[in-house]
Amino acid sequence: MSEFDDAVALGGRPGGDRTASLTEGWVIGAAVNGGILTALAVTAMRQAVEAAGGHGDALVFSAYFLSAAQPGPALLRPEVLRTGRSMSSASVAVVQADDRGPTEVERLRAMATFGDLDAQAGPVWRSAPPPDLPDPDACLRADRSAADFARAIRLLDRLDLRLDPRTAGWAVGRPSREGRIRAWVRLADGREPDAASLPFFLDALMPVTFDLGALGWAPTIELTGHVRARPAPGWLRVEISTQNVIGGLLEEDAVIWDSTGAVVAQSRQLAGVRMPVAEGGGA
C-alpha cells in the first residue's frame, strides 16, 4: 500500500461513521496538511455515496477548515444529501477529541458532488495550456534538507517536488513578486496520480505568498476544488497564483495538468496571510 492510500484509509463501514488515523508524516508546521485531510474527507463521502448507489468520482468538493487537525485518531461522519441519475452529493464532518476537555472538536466540514468522470471525458472545447517548465532534473528539488523554511514540513518527505527556478527565488530571498509558483510534483513512493489523489495535490505546495515575500504560514480558511479529468501516469504540473491580496486575506488559485498536458484539476482557496510591512502596498 502506498503512503497516500495509507493516509486516506478508513475504518468502519461505508454508510456509517468512519475512523481514521492522522499521522506525523503529513504535518506541515503546526497542523496536519489540509490537502491530505481534504482527500480523506472526500474518500469518506465517496464511499458513502457509492454505498447509496451513486457515482464515485468527486467532480467538485469544498472544505471548510474549522480548527487545526493534529496527528492522532479522527472520526468522520458522512451524510449523503442526494443520489441522482448522473450526480450525487454528500457532506462530512471530521472531528477529533479536544485536548482541552472531554468534548470533541470539529476540524473540517466538507461537501462534494460526485459523478462519472468518464461520462465527462468529451471534447476539450477550451483549456488552459500547460506552463512551459524546465525538465524536472533542471528544476529545484524541494526537500527538508534544502532550506530553513522546509525543516518543519514533514509533508515534503511524501512528495517529489521540483520547483521552476523562475518562480523559486523566494527560497534564496529574491521572490519574483509575480504571485506565482510553478512545479512538477509526484508522490515520493512512486504511486501514480489518480482522480482520488488530485484533491491532495491541489493543496500540497507552499503558500503562493512565499513569492510575494511573505514566508510565514497562510492558513486555509476554505478550499474548493474541481476534478476535470482522470490524470495520465507520470509527473503532474502545478501552478498556483494569486491576484488579490487585500488586508489579511488572499485567494490562491491552483491548476494541475497531467503528463499529457491536459487540465485535470483546479482549485481556489481563501487563506489568511500576514504581509511583511516592508512590502508596502497601497489603497
Name the site residues for a second copy (rule: CB under 8 A). Answer: 59-60, 62, 64, 66-67, 81-82, 87, 89, 91, 106, 109, 111, 113, 119-128, 179, 212, 221-222, 224, 226, 228-229, 242-251, 263, 266, 268, 270, 275, 279, 281-283
Supply φ then ψ for residue 152, to 5 degrees: -85, 0
CA 118, 122, 127, 133 dihedral sign is positive
Q: Which is nearer to a second copy, 141 or 274 (CB)?
A: 274
Q: Give me the least distance between CB of 84 and a second copy, in Å please.
A: 8
Q: Give me the least distance between CB of 246 and a second copy, in Å please.
A: 5
Q: Give me the least distance between CB of 1 and a second copy, in Å please.
A: 31
Distance CA 170, CA 209 (A): 10
Supply φ then ψ for residue 25, to 5 degrees: -65, -15
Q: Which of 181, 168, 176 is nearest to 242 (CA)?
A: 181
Q: Which is nearer to a second copy, 103 or 145 (CB)?
A: 103
Q: Which is nearer to a second copy, 119 or 138 (CB)?
A: 119
Q: Which is nearer to a second copy, 38 or 242 (CB)?
A: 242
Q: Give me the least distance between CB of 275 and a second copy, in Å please.
A: 5
Collapsing DSSP states into helix, strand and coil, what is residue 200? helix
Q: Give me the least distance between CB of 52 and a second copy, in Å please.
A: 14
Q: Which is nearer to a second copy, 110 or 139 (CB)?
A: 110
**Residue 6 host element (H or E):** helix 3-7
Beta-carbon contacts of residue 100 (< 8 Å; ≥ 6 apart) = none
Distances (CA, A) of 139 to 163, 177, 237: 5, 19, 12
Q: Which is nearer to a second copy, 166 or 268 (CB)?
A: 268
Q: Give me the least distance between CB of 201 and a second copy, in Å please.
A: 17
Supply φ then ψ for residue 280, to 5 degrees: 70, -135
